[in-house]
Amino acid sequence: MITAERINQFFSFLYAGDVGAVAFWLRLAAGVVSSALLAAIIVIALKIHDLVRAKPPAAEPAPERPKVPAAWEEVMAKIESPNPSDWHRAVILADAVFDGALKERGLLGETMGDRLKQLDRTSFAALDGAWEAHKIRNRIAHEAAGVLAYQEARRAVLLFGEALRELGYMKE
């Protein structure tokens, strides 16, 4: 049975001679470690408190999509015009809108042709149509007084529209 006398004998043994010195150093080390752990707990508690109170970082606003529907309304108005020069403008504007969408997707290149070359038919089904429409646009832009049939202009505009829908810039 543990009595006060036995406890006294135990501590007397610890403080006698070399055992007393070892006990002193053990208690000192335990005190230092305990103090360091207590300080670490306080620091961690303060950091957790700051994190809980901190507002979440503001999310970056999503990059704005170009105003394709508004620009596309202008394209459609021009293609429905009875004036052949408006058909030319409709194709050129549709090409510019599509090129802007390609640039926004991060496709690099000096020309729209360079940007189109970076696309893959397996991931972009409207690629051939976009190329065809772009070639019609180039013919309009580079041939002086070129005659453009309404059906060809409308086809180019519709091909650009299909490509824009596939890129997600216009609804079906």
pLDDT the model gives residue 24: 77
Q: Is 41 helix (H, G, I), strand (E, B) or coil?
A: helix
Q: Is 123 helix (H, G, I), strand (E, B) or coil?
A: coil
pLDDT the model gives residue 94: 92
- What DSSP state is assigned to residue 111? S
Per residue in 55-84, pLDDT (tens digit) is 666 556 555 555 567 888 899 999 999 988
| Furthest CA-CA distance within the chain | 119
Per residue in 79-95, pLDDT (tens digit) is 999 988 899 899 999 99
Question: Closest Cα to residue 126, out of 116, 136, 141?
Answer: 116
